[in-house]
Structure 1
């Protein structure tokens, strides 16, 4: 049996800054333009960029890119607004691109 000393974490792949907890993953079934992505209910230690409307696979959304607050790496985006009723569950949640994050040692 594994001996975990704390919650499983995800860090920025570039600088190892803590950006999310495994328990905050809503779904692993997302696709970004540059690879697989995870939907998180909450992330930390990121800065939000400017809001913009973006046409995504699932329709039009208002999003803001999110960047590591330590090294500035673009990690994904935050869903600000979904225009389709079936996509409203994404509002306020975050996409982190899988290859931009690494499992923490926690």
Structure 2
């Protein structure tokens, strides 16, 4: 936890395992399965599930659900591949549902 001192981060609401740094937020304008979500450049302490094509609000993407590595709570998804060239900027990014995380300082 020393690497988080003085740096706000988000942890799993269920078990409090750190999952993302606040500095890694790219966008606060996303919606996930359970409501508002953030897009992060990176996520930690998550398990990436099987990739599957999914129809989302901005098109069809190859995505993989992500889960807390400690308690296995579903957190959101990772964009694996965008089929539309205009959506390629999302590849490798993580969408984490706000109802699944809590901000820590």
Give the TM bin, normalised by the shorter chain: over 0.9
SS in 1 for 2:37: strand
C-alpha RMSD of the superposition: 0.8
1:102 match: 102
Gaps of at least 5 residues in structure 1 are none
Whole-Å Cα distance in 1 between the matches of residues 33 and 10 of structure 2?
21
Checking the alignment, whether the CA contact within 8 Å between 2:33 and 2:76 is kept in structure 1 is no
Deviant stretches of 4+, over 4 Å: none
1:7 match: 7
1:90 match: 90
SS in 1 for 2:96: strand
Whole-Å Cα distance in 2 between the matches of residues 84 and 6 of structure 1?
39
Whole-Å Cα distance in 1 between the matches of residues 17 and 34 of structure 2?
21
Q: CA deviation at 1:34?
A: 1.8
**Does 1:65 find its partner at 2:65?**
yes
Size of the alignment, in residue pairs?
Answer: 101
TM-score (norm 1): 0.92
Gaps of at least 5 residues in structure 2 are none
SS in 1 for 2:66: strand
1:29 match: 29
SS in 1 for 2:99: helix
